[in-house]
Structure 1
């Protein structure tokens, strides 16, 4: 049976116990949501190192986000 949770007016929800157990998450842990083209989403636990790494990586990619780059790589 699927785990079901209600979303509050503030966009908050409680992660059901069986989902927390499957993800091995506890209070204070980080989770990442991925949105897929078909409208579905997946969630996974994120290690703090992952976030630091991704933030550092993101800063190095700014040279690739100009309008000219977007145009050049649009069809890839």
Structure 2
């Protein structure tokens, strides 16, 4: 399952919700996978703040919803 998550990350940033949907798992399982990948150094959590929307990797599709809903976004730390 970790390998599948990393394959999805090759496309760029992914939210917990997107990961769960793509892998057909629960949100809690997706959070666990991302915590494992983060502890292994493969991903890091992108801290979303109201003032950072212009820097966010999801800015083209989000429209600021991340800030209002508290969505966690993870970005790969490896080169693709």
Into which bin does the TM-score normalised by the smaller protein fall? under 0.3
TM-score normalized with structure 1 length: 0.25
TM-score normalized with structure 2 length: 0.24
Larger-gyration structure (1/2): 1
- Structure with bigger RCO (C-alpha 8 Å, 6+ apart): 2
